[in-house]
Amino acid sequence: MAKKNARSQEEVKSEMDMSPMIDCCFLLLMFFIVNAAQITVSKDPSVNMPNAVSASEMKDANGCIVINVFADPEIMGAKNAKSLEKYNKTYNPGTIWGVADANQNSIGYNSGQMQELSDFVKKQKDSMESKGIKPEMIRLYLRGDADAPWSRSSGAIQAAAAAGVTNIVFGTLPAQ
Amino acid sequence: MARHKKIQPPEEEEMTSNISSMIDCCFLLLIYFLVATSLVSEKKLDINIPSTPTAASSKKPKVDPGNIYVTSSGVVTWNKDLTVGEAYDASLVPGTPAYLQQRRMDSLVESLKLLKEQAQAVEADPVVMLHGSGKAPHQRIVDVMAALAEADIHSVGLSTTADE
């Protein structure tokens, strides 16, 4: 009897090693954190996005230079008071284009600062190219407010074209 | 001596930390980010602006270019004679049938597809020019871009017309 007890105590306890699984989880977690940050970069909540019936999925935000185009403050306020509040806190009066620099600081430009906007796009383009992003992958991601006049969106496109960026991506939301 | 029993120290309990709750948290965070990334689903419409015409490309195109005009009120016309989109109504609520009806421009898509077929017949690229009034709402331009994407045309010339 005593012999049998001794033998059962000697049996090796089988335990699952959880550490590799935890490592994997953390890696996945970090991957999604980084991805989410990349896609959500510069998404200004003051912009009421337009809807489109046929648009494709935004899979890769790499190489996108984001320009937000704002509607008139009166229209913005009538649609969403919080949007107007955020806009007033972030930008100077008269701002029609909003961008974010490398440190995610918001910069606003008014209608008379198209050259400055173009310079910003050029700087972003050069910075992306120095990081190894192919020139054809560098695009202008235009987040225009649905109620913004076309002259503002067109001005942003002209500023980008002057900086050598002719691929335009219109940011939209699905219509349904 | 035999009377004295050797007192054995109590068995040391093995200190193990329970990591199952941490794994639960990790999975919850993972699911959160998975859902969050798919929820923030801005869509895109890719458009390429033709570069400055060179001597080789400035000769007359094989097919007449298609012209789309968008007025300040948001009325869309094809080649100035066919109205393909009514005036923009900003009061419509997104998601309602009337709103979706305004977003769709089926006759413009048909015209664009026809233009593309004509261009392909002579092995050329379709040429489309979008003339938008400076006061036209951005939403109406996006509607036109969506129609272009539906007709599989990704290159369009843009111009801003004087406000009528």
Per-residue pLDDT of chain B (164 residues; tens, 9 = 90+): 455 566 666 666 667 777 777 777 777 787 777 766 655 566 777 777 776 554 445 566 677 888 999 999 999 999 888 888 888 888 888 888 888 888 888 899 999 999 999 988 888 888 899 999 999 999 999 999 999 989 988 888 888 776 55
Gyration radius (Cα) of chain B, Å: 32
More confident residue, A42 or A113: A113
In 10 A of CB B42, how many CB atoms?
A: 19
Non-local (6+) Cβ contacts of A26 within 8 A are: B26
CA distance B145 to B71: 15
CA distance A5 to A10: 9
HSE (CB half, 13 Å, CA atoms) of A11?
A: 8
**Residue position matching structure tokens 């869509």:** B43
Contacts of B134 in chain A (CB under 8 A): 149-151, 154
Per-residue confidence (pLDDT) for residue B32, from 0 to 100: 78
Element (H, E) at B55: none
Per-residue confidence (pLDDT) for residue B82, from 0 to 100: 86
How many residues in total does chain B contain? Answer: 164
Phi and psi torsions of A22, nearest 5°? -65, -40
Element (H, E) at B124: none
Please name the member of A36, A157, A176 whose beta carbon is closest to the beta carbon of B158. Answer: A157
Q: A137-173: buried (b, 16+ CB within 10 Å) or exposed (e) per residue?
A: ebbbbbbbbbbbbbbbbbbbbbbbbebebbbbbbbbb
**Residue position matching structure tokens 């000769």:** B59
Non-local (6+) Cβ contacts of A123 within 8 A are: none
Per-residue confidence (pLDDT) for residue A34, from 0 to 100: 67
Per-residue confidence (pLDDT) for residue A70, from 0 to 100: 93
**pTM score above 0.90:** no
Q: Give the DSSP letter of residue A154.
A: H
B114 touches chain A (CB under 8 A): no
Query: Which stretches within chain B are classed as H helix?
Result: 20-39, 97-103, 106-121, 138-150
Closest CA to A173 of B30, B100, B49, B31: B100
**Residue position matching structure tokens 């798919």:** B38
The pLDDT tens digits for A18-38 are 777 777 777 787 777 766 655
Please name the member of B137, B142, B160 whose beta carbon is closest to the beta carbon of A154. Answer: B160
Q: Is the pLDDT of residue A8 over 60?
A: no
Give the minimum alpha-carbon distance from B68 to chain A in angstroms, rounded to a whole number: 14
Per-residue confidence (pLDDT) for residue A38, from 0 to 100: 54
Domain boundaries, chain A: 2-36, 42-174
